[in-house]
Structure 1
Amino acid sequence: MAREEAIILDCCYTGKVFRGMIEMIEKGEIPKQKNVMLLHTGGLPGIFSEIHEQAMQQELWQDNIKEFSL
């Protein structure tokens, strides 16, 4: 998700919520033709150090002039 959409999901909370949403869609509990909003409240970026920030910035924004900041 981070590489393709620049959305970081942690493996404990937002990752599980996202996977649960996908499973609900696959099971038909959420119709595929319906719009769904998954509210990502953040929190995860606050645990990254400057080294993590620089690595993400380099990977996610290699071809972009804008700076990535947490």
Structure 2
Amino acid sequence: MDLRRLRRRRRRAAAIYTLIQTAKLNDIDPQAWLADVLTRLLDHPAARSPNCFHGTGNTLTSPRQPDRSGQAAT
């Protein structure tokens, strides 16, 4: 197995375990919470946008960063 794939899998697993443990520490059923979040995510207007999914060829631009004077860069 490719080392990069293994690292990605480990990071994903760590993120999932963190969410589960955080839910448990807050006395929330992790399975019910995740089911609720996934259901609401599918109903969210942004989920219907073709720009929200990675790999579609569309990129999201970040807002312009202010320069040192506090004014937006042009």
TM-score of the two chains, using structure 2 as the length reference: 0.28
Structure with the larger helix share: 2
